[in-house]
Amino acid sequence: MQREQKSNSYLLGAVLIMVYLYYRATFEQNFYALPNILANLLQSQPLSGLFAMFTFQYGEQTISIGALGYFGFLGFFGSKIWSFLIYFLLAYLWYGGLAGKLRDAFTPSTVALLLSVSYAAADEFHQSLVSPAFAMKEDVILAGSGAILAVIAGWFFLTARKGRK
């Protein structure tokens, strides 16, 4: 009974994250809010010399301090880290919820990955329709990386926990 309730809690958490992601993509976001917050916290611009060495392409956008400014550069990484973590959590919750309901190890991991990566692709498509953001395959790959790592971590922790009991 307790295992069933825990499994249901994981699944509810996954659905709530999906609702959050849908809500976040539906409305125009203030992409400059994080850099403004960072500007207030990091007025001395620590590590700017180190960050100035990095320039790369993300989709069709050049990512560098010269192109985005110091706080835009940090804001870019903050938003990508948040995306990675939210899809990590989404896949982990799907895996945890499904592993509590299914006996084999392969099905929950496969379904959790498919649900998470499919939702990331659908979310990017949805963003392209309703917000000024562009749908980017790089964001789906980033979300998929978070999902893969989450399923590996979930399998490890759930298997290790079962092995100790």
pLDDT at res. 84 = 96
Element (H, E) at 58: strand 56-58
| Helix segments in 27-165, DSSP class H | 33-41, 48-51, 65-99, 106-130, 137-164
Q: What is the pLDDT of residues 82-133, one digit of tens each?
A: 999 999 999 999 999 998 888 787 899 999 999 999 999 999 898 888 866 6
Q: What is the pLDDT of residues 28-63, one digit of tens each?
A: 555 546 666 777 777 778 888 888 888 988 888 889
Rg (CA), the chain: 19
Cβ atoms of 114 and 151 closer than 8 Å? no
70 vs 14, more confident: 14
* Domain ranges for the chain: 2-164
pLDDT at res. 100 = 83
CA gap 99, 29 in Å, rounded: 35
Beta bridge partners of 58: 61
pLDDT at res. 144 = 96
- Cα torsion 134, 135, 140, 141 to 10°: value is -70
140 vs 44, more confident: 140
Residue at 24: amino acid letter: R
